[in-house]
Amino acid sequence: MIALNRLNNQPIMVNADLIETLESTPDTVVTLTSGNKLIVRDRPDEIQAKIIEYKRRIYVEKP
């Protein structure tokens, strides 16, 4: 799960595996695989970085 912020600054946790697309219109629209859309304050590049960090924490083997 990654933390994003709705337009009213309310935090929301989103399952990164369910994100299908990110659009900047100028607000960021996150489309989930279910077809649901979320409008958030986070920029697409910030969301991408959060997804990468999330995946690294899960899949990178730790000694």
Looking at residue 36, its pLDDT comes to 97
The three-class DSSP label of residue 43 is: coil
pTM assigned to the model? 0.88
Q: How many domains does the chain have?
A: 1
- Quick one: 4 exposed, middle or buried, by C-beta within 10 A (0-12, 13-18, 19+)? buried
Looking at residue 44, its pLDDT comes to 97
Looking at residue 63, its pLDDT comes to 62
What residue numbers bound the domain in which 44 lies? 2-59
Distance CA 18, CA 27 (A): 20
pLDDT digits (tens, 9 = 90+) for 4-63: 999 999 999 999 999 999 999 999 999 999 999 999 999 999 999 999 999 999 888 666
Looking at residue 59, its pLDDT comes to 87
Q: CATH code at 47?
A: 2.40.50
